Structure 1
Amino acid sequence: MSTQAPRTQLCSHGPDAIHYRDANLVDDLIGKAGFVEVFLRQTFGRQPSAAELTIVDAVLVTLMEHGLTPSVIAARMVYSSSPENLQAGVAAGLLAVASRFVGTMEPAAGLLRRIVDAGEQGAAEARRIAAEHRAQRQPVPGFGHHLHRPDDPRAVALLELAARTGTFGRHCEALQALAGAIDEAAGRHITINATGAVAALLGDIGVPPELMRGFAVLSRAAGLVAHIAEEQREPSGRFIWDLVDQAMSTAEHSTDH
Structure 2
Amino acid sequence: MTDTPAQPTAGDVADWWANGICRMEPGVVELRGIPVQELIGHRGLVSTIWLMVRGGSPTADEAALLEAAMVASVDHGPQAPSIAIARMTVTCGVGMNNAMASGVNALGDSHGGAGQQCVELLSEIVARESAGAELSDATAEVVAEYRARDPYLPGFGHRFHPIDPRRNPLLSLVDAAVSAGTIEGRHAAAARAVEALLNQGRSKPVPMNIDGATAVIYAELGFAPELARGLFVLSRSVGILAHAWEESNQGRRNKGPMPTSILPTYR
Kindly indicate whether structure 1 or structure 2 has the higher relative contact order, using CA contacts under 8 Å at least 6 residues apart. Answer: 2
Per-residue CA shift, 1:7-55, capped at 9, x if unaligned? 21111122222111221112x1111111111110111111101111111
- More off after superposition, 56-65 vs 3-12: 3-12
Amino acid in structure 2 at the alignment position of 1:9: G
**1:154 positional shift:** 0.5
8 A Cα contact 1:134 1:185, kept in partner: no
- 1:147 paired with 2:163, answer no
Q: Within 2, Cα distance between the matches of 1:237 and 1:164?
A: 49
Structure with bigger helix share is 1
- 1:104 paired with 2:126, answer no
Amino acid in structure 1 at the alignment position of 2:155: G
Q: How high is the sequence identity, in percent, across the aligned residues?
A: 28
- Matching of residues 226-237 of structure 1 within 5 Å: 226-235=242-251
Quick one: structure 1 residues 184 and 128, their matched pair in 2 at CA, closer, same or farther if it must change by over 3 Å?
farther
Q: Within 2, Cα distance between the matches of 1:140 and 1:236?
A: 39
8 A Cα contact 1:105 1:195, kept in partner: yes
1:9 paired residue among 20, 39, 58? 20
- Matching of residues 1-257 of structure 1 within 5 Å: 7-26=18-37, 28-68=38-78, 69-83=80-94, 85-119=95-129, 120-134=133-147, 138-149=151-162, 151-166=163-178, 167=183, 169-184=185-200, 188-235=204-251, 238=254, 240-243=256-259, 246-248=262-264, 251-252=265-266
Q: Within 1, Cα distance between the matches of 2:68 and 2:235?
A: 10
8 A Cα contact 1:10 1:20, kept in partner: yes
8 A Cα contact 1:105 1:198, kept in partner: yes
8 A Cα contact 1:168 1:201, kept in partner: no
* RMSD, aligned CA: 2.3
TM-score (norm 2): 0.84
Question: Is the radius of gyration larger for structure 1 or structure 2?
Answer: 2
Specify every segment of 5 or more residues in structure 1 that has no aligned partner in the other structure, as ranges.
Answer: none
* Secondary structure, aligned partner of 1:12: strand
8 A Cα contact 1:162 1:168, kept in partner: no
* Secondary structure, aligned partner of 1:13: strand
TM-score (norm 1): 0.87
Amino acid in structure 1 at the alignment position of 2:48: V
Q: After the TM superposition, which parts of structure 1 deviate over 3 Å for at least 4 consecutive aligned residues?
A: 3-6, 129-137, 185-188, 235-242
Count of residue pairs brought into register by the alignment: 246
Quick one: structure 1 residues 182 and 234, their matched pair in 2 at CA, closer, same or farther if it must change by over 3 Å?
same
Amino acid in structure 1 at the alignment position of 2:58: P
* Secondary structure, aligned partner of 1:81: coil
